[in-house]
Structure 1
Amino acid sequence: MLYLENQIKISAGRAFKTIVAHATATRFKSLLTGLGATTLFQSSSVVTLMALSLIGAQMMSLESAIAVIFGANIGTTVTAWIVALVGFKMDIKLLSYVFIGIGGLGSVLAGEEGRWRNYFSMLVGFGLIFLGLEGMKESFGVFSQNFDLSSYLYSSPYLYAFIGLAVTVIIQSSSAAIAIAQSAIFTHMISFEAAAAFVIGANVGTTVTAILGAIGGIPDKKRTAVAHLVFNLSTALVALLALPWLILLTRSTFPNVDGVVQIALFHTLFNVLGVALWYPFISMLDRGVKHLFTKETIHVTRYIHNVSVDVPDLAVDALEKEMQHLSEKIEEFALLAINIPPPKVYEQHAAVDKLLEQYDGNFDISYEKLYDNIRLLEGEIYRYISLLSAKNTTESYQVKINQYLRQTTYLATAAKDIKDILYDLDRLYNAISSEERYFYKNIRYQILKSVLAYHRAREGESACIDEMEATYKKIADSYRNSMHLIENIAKNTNISSAMTTITVNDMHLVKSFSKSLRNALVLNTNGHIGGEENA
């Protein structure tokens, strides 16, 4: 089950995200999405983890996530039906070898790239499940024939609920735990009542996966895990209290089938009843859990701390958004350094010279704190990229991850350039000579021009992509032809000799800043900009 789930996480993440994007508009659609996705992927744990990742990425509401999990609880019963109708009605050892053989050969022939390798690996996973099930059937049969089990069996079936819960917590798969119960009842090791109680406990045990997946996430992720626990626990308590009547209903519905099929029916029956009881109260449950975890943990990141790297496709989406967040922070840092208010300047469409004249004050801001936060954000992105890189080693995936890594490096360089020029900007603000004030205005002009072009290009204005390239080239040319400016400053005896060095250093830093933004934009637009990245 774990092998199959890992393959599903890799190959089905994007598909599930697409389904969710179009199918969680209403509560009922969300319920059907959870049911359908779990039926398709054969794992409620995978669907639950994906739902947590989507709500962490703020792509799904809390109420929709709860409804998806409700649907997943019904969808997970399909595995028990497959095991009952296929696993115990025929010799599936040969079938398992066929699945493993075709899947193994296909994954080798498919190579390292593409989804087909994962699809074939999923086939191997199904084969391993059938092979494991056949092994359990044989082992339980031998075990029951050679040992006197009467002294080890509990008189009360309710104790088996705790065993089912413990087994599911240990193996992290309610489907596998229920298959164990079906194997035990097939060989007459335990009674139907005991197996039914075991299944109820397994349903509660599966909530541990969601709890573990929510640790360290945003409050809505934790609230979803709590809602999952409340739903499964309350459904289990009702099912245990009504166990004799549920067993009677199960046996009267399918009186002539064996215990293995009846367990699948029982599992479906109490899950459907649980959803039917809770469905009208989803909004109430949503409001109830929203009172929990109100004290939010402060994160320097905005997206990646909400999405587990165990779901690579969703994690890449979160990483892409975090890169935009980092870009916003660096733009803000650069604008504040030249005394331009970030939100207002984007709304205005005045010329750069006019903006510089309009905002000529000097801000009193803790630039060191701003830069420290940017460095922390960069560090968290580097760490996330490192963890994500280990989750998928295919060449195309690694190329994409490496692209984000290089983009982060360029943005980090841009932030460092602004940090290194801060002292000089403050000194130049109080300058008296016309040469120094001209140089100060020129530095502000080049930084503002670069930031505006970069920001508008990120926002999708195609003309600004070319403008960013033109701005960088102009600054680079200005840097190469700067000797006359340096000479004018050096000739003025009222200007300290240190200012000559400051001029050279600052022009180099501004050029580096513009180049770093330009190179980051090249990567962000997949090279759709004039010139090479390192030009």
Structure 2
Amino acid sequence: MEHYKIWIEAFSGLGLFLFGMLYLEEQIKSSAGRAFKTLVQNATKTHFKSLLTGIFSTAVFQSSSVVTLMALSLVGAQLMSLQSSIAIILGSNIGTTVTAWIVAVIGFNMDIKLLSYAVIGIGGMGQVLSSDTSKWKNYFGVLVGFGLIFLGLEGMKESFSDSAQNFDMTAYQFSTPYWYALIGLALTALIQSSSASIAIAQSALYTHVIGFEAAAAFVVGTNIGTTVTALLGSIGGIADKKRVALAHLLFNVSTGVISLLFLYQLISLVNFAFPHADGVIKIAIFHTLFNILGVLLWYPFISFLTTLTQKYFHQAQDKVTKFICNVSTEVPQIAIEALKKEIEHLLKKVQEFALLAINVPPSKVLDEHMAIDKILDKYTHSFNVEFEKVYEKIRLLEGEIYRYASELSAVNNDEEYNDKLNRLIKEVNYLATAAKVIKDMLYDLDYFYNAHTKEEQQFYKNIRYQILKNIQAFNKAIQGDEDSIKEMDEIYKRIADAYRKSTLIIKDIARNHSIKSDVTTMAINDMHSVKSFSKSMYNILKLN
């Protein structure tokens, strides 16, 4: 019965450690997600800056897995290049050694049980007393996470100490340390935390359950096993996400294999350089040493690694979404950036839909060298476009955006964050209205395109003019000009003038007895539709 108690305590300690790591990651992601996104976007212009970003952010987040998944999300949202993400992955392997140092210096050289209770107590009380929208709730949550990690570590350490006293562990040891590398790999792949696996190795080494050589090989195995997180995170993403995961795999496996080939030499180097350090400190040193050597080996070849991975994962999938499909809602600050880019994608599709409907090539919408009348006179032929399918894709894209925004809203209680979401949803609403207006006009536009009377032809040209002018004005205003709203106000007034001009043309249509009576009704409806389209675009601009 005593034997079972020891293993239950060990298992419970591991559970506390893992939960503490997970809880800490979630709290840091919530409180520092925006800072990480800003840091990455400002510090990934060169390979060296990206490497430092990987080191620093992993040290802060206390998890290379979190940084790897965030890097994958940024690549998926096309907010970061493939080369920069690979450099960050390399840096994260050095940054993750900080956890082993914290565990070695604090976890085994201090009696931390009482300290853990105090930290958990302060953090827990702080969370209870903080409002759901306060950032302090996340900060107190970070304290709880750290407390749980060290409490779990203390539990593992005590259970391993008991097992070492009551069992002859030599009966379960391997003759070669390389088997421990496989155990470290398998355990890390299973529990999705190299930090937890290394803490287990340090606990076993501290209590003399395993020797230093076995612990060193175990740690190398954990480095290879941590690639599973990136591989899982890349599933279903764009090609670059898979390429980052492949680069991560190549780097960690090659570094691990080289470290195992020169295992005894590296151990001798650590023992020679730090003869008086205890075992758990030496493991932290060993962990840091072979990761730095791996980065030194691969850093000059980041461009080569990028080129190599680009040879793979060429996919020609016709996805409706372009950005949000590649970013998990669990990384909220990156997710909202992906959402913004997806809405820009929707805006582009709606504008293309409108331009194709009036027979203007979308690429010519901002042609500064041609007046609108000349553009309309030049492009008069109808495009061979299946408008129903185009509109159906727009509807599907709208639906996916709504679903993604709803999921983001459900997992975030921050008031400021949800205000941003609400503004983005309003923008989608206006775009949905604009697309529906054009879709409802398709039959009428086709009729007027084939019209023979000059009154109908004039009305058709006037409708085309209003739509094209509105899109041109919107795109110029959205560039970031401080006076963009005022400029759009003036454009909207000019469109209102064109609206009055349309009413005069409609009177001419009504007077012409050779034109069917229902054409007058069509013209009136189209006139209101164009105004509704213009109003939707104007409202979008006001939101930005």
Same fold at TM > 0.5: yes
**Runs of 5+ unmatched residues, structure 1:** 526-535
Deviates more, 1:414-423 or 1:484-493: 484-493
Equivalent residue for 2:413, pick from 388, 393, 400: 393
Instruction: Name the residue aligned to 1:87.
Output: 107
Distance 1:434 1:215, change over 3 A: same
CA RMSD after TM alignment: 2.5
**Which residue identity lines up with residue 226 of structure 2 in the other structure?**
T
Does 1:243 pair with 2:270?
no
Q: Is the 8 A contact 2:181 2:219 kept in 1?
A: yes
Instruction: Name the residue aligned to 1:226.
Output: 246
CA offsets, 1:328-364, max 9 Å, x none? Answer: 2211211221122222231226554454344444333
Deviates more, 1:473-482 or 1:133-142: 473-482
Deviates more, 1:288-297 or 1:71-80: 288-297
Equivalent residue for 1:200, pick from 220, 242, 245: 220
Q: Is the 8 A contact 2:462 2:502 kept in 1?
A: no
Does 1:313 pair with 2:363?
no
Distance 1:163 1:327, change over 3 A: same
| Residue 145 of structure 1: how far off its partner (Å) | 3.2
- Whole-angstrom distance in 1 between the partners of 2:48 and 2:504: 72
- Whole-angstrom distance in 2 between the partners of 1:25 and 1:487: 61
Instruction: Work out the percentage of aligned pairs sharing the same amino acid.
Output: 62
Instruction: Name the residue aligned to 2:276.
Output: 256
CA offsets, 1:497-523, max 9 Å, x none? Answer: 322332233233223222222222222
Q: What SS is found at the alignment partner of 1:432?
A: coil
- Whole-angstrom distance in 2 between the partners of 1:483 and 1:57: 46
Does 1:272 pair with 2:272?
no
Deviates more, 1:127-136 or 1:6-15: 6-15
Does 1:499 pair with 2:499?
no
Instruction: Name the residue aligned to 1:47.
Output: 67
Instruction: Name the residue aligned to 2:434.
Output: 414
Instruction: Name the residue aligned to 1:151.
Output: 171
Instruction: Name the residue aligned to 2:137.
Output: 117
Does 1:439 pair with 2:459?
yes
- Whole-angstrom distance in 2 between the partners of 1:472 and 1:280: 55
**Which residue identity lines up with residue 408 of structure 2 in the other structure?**
L
- Whole-angstrom distance in 1 between the partners of 2:31 and 2:395: 34
| Residue 470 of structure 1: how far off its partner (Å) | 4.7
Instruction: Name the residue aligned to 1:103.
Output: 123
Instruction: Name the residue aligned to 1:169.
Output: 189
- Whole-angstrom distance in 2 between the partners of 1:161 and 1:66: 25
Does 1:12 pair with 2:32?
yes
CA offsets, 1:82-126, max 9 Å, x none? Answer: 101101111111221222223233334442335333222222211
| Residue 63 of structure 1: how far off its partner (Å) | 2.6
**Which residue identity lines up with residue 336 of structure 1 in the other structure?**
L
- Whole-angstrom distance in 2 between the partners of 1:480 and 1:519: 21
Q: How does 1:4-83 map to 2 (within 5 A)?
A: 4-83=24-103
- Whole-angstrom distance in 2 between the partners of 1:27 and 1:482: 58
Equivalent residue for 2:472, pick from 452, 459, 464: 452
Q: Is the 8 A contact 1:454 1:465 kept in 2?
A: no
- Whole-angstrom distance in 2 between the partners of 1:18 and 1:463: 27
Q: What SS is found at the alignment partner of 2:365?
A: helix
Does 1:293 pair with 2:340?
no
| Residue 204 of structure 1: how far off its partner (Å) | 0.7
| Residue 139 of structure 1: how far off its partner (Å) | 2.3
Aligned residues: 524
Distance 1:491 1:60, change over 3 A: closer
- Whole-angstrom distance in 2 between the partners of 1:42 and 1:114: 23
**Which residue identity lines up with residue 263 of structure 1 in the other structure?**
I
Distance 1:268 1:6, change over 3 A: same
Deviates more, 1:468-477 or 1:232-241: 468-477
Does 1:188 pair with 2:202?
no
Q: Is the 8 A contact 2:462 2:498 kept in 1?
A: no
| Residue 480 of structure 1: how far off its partner (Å) | 9.5
- Whole-angstrom distance in 1 between the partners of 2:369 and 2:405: 37
CA offsets, 1:143-178, max 9 Å, x none? Answer: 333444343333332222121112111211101111
| Residue 3 of structure 1: how far off its partner (Å) | 1.1
Equivalent residue for 2:152, pick from 118, 132, 155: 132
Instruction: Name the residue aligned to 1:376.
Output: 396
Q: Is the 8 A contact 1:453 1:465 kept in 2?
A: no
Q: What SS is found at the alignment partner of 1:300?
A: coil
Q: How does 1:480-519 map to 2 (within 5 A)?
A: 489-519=509-539
Q: What SS is found at the alignment partner of 1:105?
A: helix
| Residue 140 of structure 1: how far off its partner (Å) | 2.2
* TM-score, scaled to structure 1: 0.90
Q: What SS is found at the alignment partner of 1:217?
A: coil
**Which residue identity lines up with residue 212 of structure 1 in the other structure?**
L
**Which residue identity lines up with residue 68 of structure 1 in the other structure?**
I
Instruction: Name the residue aligned to 1:529.
Output: none
**Which residue identity lines up with residue 358 of structure 2 in the other structure?**
I
Instruction: Name the residue aligned to 1:284.
Output: 304
- Whole-angstrom distance in 1 between the partners of 2:409 and 2:80: 26
Deviates more, 1:178-187 or 1:439-448: 439-448
Q: Is the 8 A contact 2:458 2:505 kept in 1?
A: no
| Residue 483 of structure 1: how far off its partner (Å) | 7.5
Deviates more, 1:288-297 or 1:37-46: 288-297
- Whole-angstrom distance in 2 between the partners of 1:362 and 1:384: 36
- Whole-angstrom distance in 2 between the partners of 1:61 and 1:456: 28
Distance 1:280 1:511, change over 3 A: closer
- Whole-angstrom distance in 1 between the partners of 2:350 and 2:299: 46
| Residue 129 of structure 1: how far off its partner (Å) | 0.9
- Whole-angstrom distance in 2 between the partners of 1:483 and 1:427: 19
